[in-house]
Amino acid sequence: MALMISHFQWKPLFKKERLPGWKISFYHKGIHYEGIYHKSGEIEWGSTYPPHDDEPSLKSEIHELMLFHIYE
């Protein structure tokens, strides 16, 4: 079951660079999350961490969004 992510945004960590990572932000269940999406697919969460039960599904959905936007 996919979780509902809204207002997903990403931008490179460094100007004119596609690597090594991207800043991401989105809303889930009305809570704003930010983090860094690394080339390896790992997510370094900002000050707000998602609930433990939601994290695996959120990571999967974010990975799919990044594949679509970055590696198209």
Q: Each residue of 33-72: pLDDT tens digit?
A: 999 999 899 999 999 999 999 999 999 999 999 988 776 6
Q: What angle (nearest 5°) sits at the alpha carbon of residue 24, between those of residues 22 and 28?
A: 160
pTM recorded for the entire structure: 0.84
What pLDDT, on a 0 to 100 scale, did the predictor assign at position 17? 65
Q: Distance of CA 72 to CAs 41, 52, 64, 65, Å?
A: 15, 30, 11, 10
Number of domains into which the chain is organized: 1
Q: Which domain holds residue 39?
A: 5-48+56-70
